[in-house]
Amino acid sequence: MPSGDDAARREALERALDEGWSALESGSALDAVQAAVEVLEDAPDFNAGRGSVLSADGRVEMDAGIATGPDGRAGAVAYVTRVRHPVALARTVMESTPHVLLAGVAAERFAEERDLELMKPSWFVTARERERLARATSRASSSEVGGGTVGAVARDSAGALAAATSTGGTRGQLPGRIGDSPLIGAGTYADADCAISATGDGEAIIRTVAAHEVAALVRHTGLQLAEACEQVLRDRIEPLGGGAGMIALGASGEPAMPFTTPAMHRAWRVGDDPAQIAIANER
């Protein structure tokens, strides 16, 4: 029998897939990845938006990135504490400024100017995450070290690819730490050939520029997307002592979702095939 947490995660993944698919039918790949990620940013069982893990001082600090090919546009935000949907702010940065990444108070001021929804910082903090941070702090328990991301990739009817990633970071992180999700080419990347959103050990993903490394292997070596993802996980991230997972989509529309972390929740739909959902380490 699935646990209560797993049932809630499965329901959230189903809603995210439905919202993303609906946006894809009426709009673009960008619309789809934003819609899917926004659902998960509101789902308290995932590490993004409300329900994010807490930093060492008990606060939620959120990062997000969004990217699209073949035009190479990208936007990102980091260290935001009041924006309900960081992924929406990342897209606004991409579409309304000449910049790629805004951070902190200035990013929140920009969100306010653009009429994006803001919440009190306490709204993002859940009782469960308070308890987990307390256990991690008092016991120095490795079982309470947590992180992860939410992400989405999509290909639309015009063949355009997009990726989006959103996260609350790593439980107990130093205040001000920024992970891989808003760093284009590390945790989020899209070009004409593939779109990738990564999760796992953020520092290892940054150090290997993992998402771009996958795209480079596809472009320059002819590797299939799934093989390229697995090679980066095995040959680049594992030697650093890290575990990671990726959701990736190529120009053919076939997804790849390998992971070396203990678990990775995921959902996907291709064409007219039925939607599929996998929780934890289900294959």
Rounded Cα gap, residues 42 and 138, in angstroms:
29
C-alpha 37/C-alpha 8 separation (Å) is 16
For the CA atoms of the chain, what is the radius of gyration? 17
Verify whether residue 149 is a known catalytic residue.
yes
Q: How far apart are CA 43 and CA 185, in angstroms?
A: 26
- 71 DSSP 8-state letter: T
Give SS3 for 51: coil
Nearest to 132 by CA among 121, 141, 124: 141
CA distances from 239 to 118, 160, 199 (A): 40, 34, 17
Q: Which of 81, 92, 149, 165 is catalytic?
A: 149
Whole-number Å distance between alpha carbons of 150 and 161: 18
Surface-to-core class of residue 48, CB atoms within 10 Å of its CB (0-12 exposed, 13-18 middle, 19+ buried)? buried
Instruction: Go through the chain and tell me how many residues it has.
Output: 283
Instruction: Give the count of alpha carbons within 13 A of 118, CB side only.
Output: 15
Catalytic residues: 149
